[in-house]
Amino acid sequence: MLKKIHRLISIIESKLFPMAYAKKAGVEFGEGCRLNGAPDWGSEPWLISVGKHTEISNNCTFITHDGSTWVFRNQEKYKKVIRFGKIQIGDNCFIGAGTTVMPGIKIGNNCIVGACSLVTKNIPNGEVWGGVPAKFISTTNDFAEKCLKETPEYDVENFCKNKKEEVLKMLK
């Protein structure tokens, strides 16, 4: 009964205070990180490190082990086979909503991972990746230039006061 109560408290804590929960579980964060929602840090959160000024969107999953070894561990030859891998996310990154990062992955500095991606390969510094499995899309600098060109004129002061009005004007 106490285990069930502890588990319930843990689930509530992870949803209400996701950063505090993640740190308590062992995830390492650099300064200025943001969590939008409560990521699933998996069963070995202490194998995950996140660099400075990195944002992780809602419903992301970080897998630090390979549970598929269960299929053949009943055979004597493979009885002791296990696979774990650290996940390292660099500085100044954005991980899109619903992304899954597999064991042993390194995401470099200044990277963007698109929503709902499955990251199965390391991502070098300064690149945008997305898809299932995630693939190179562009450099972060090229994406920034594209966003700059596509950003319409808007009233910055009014945006701060009345975001809805300004966004709706932009989308006309």
Report the pLDDT value the prediction gives residue 16, as an integer from 0 to 100: 67
What is the number of domains present in the chain?
1
In a domain, 85, yes or no: yes
* Whole-prediction pTM: 0.88
Hey, which residues are catalytic here? 65
Please state, rounded to an integer, the average pLDDT across all residues of the chain: 93
Report the pLDDT value the prediction gives residue 134, as an integer from 0 to 100: 99
Those residues whose C-beta lies under 8 Å from the C-beta of residue 43, and which sit 6 or more positions away, are: 64, 65
* Domain containing residue 99: 2-145
pLDDT band at 155 (very low <50, low <70, confident <90, very high): confident
Task: Give pLDDT tens digits for 112-121.
Answer: 999 999 999 9
**Would you report the helix, strand and coil content of the chain in percent, each value rounded to 5?**
35, 20, 45
From CA 162, how far away is CA 103, in angstroms rounded?
43
Q: Looking at residue 69, which CATH number applies to its domain?
A: 2.160.10.10
Report the pLDDT value the prediction gives residue 154, as an integer from 0 to 100: 86
In a domain, 170, yes or no: no
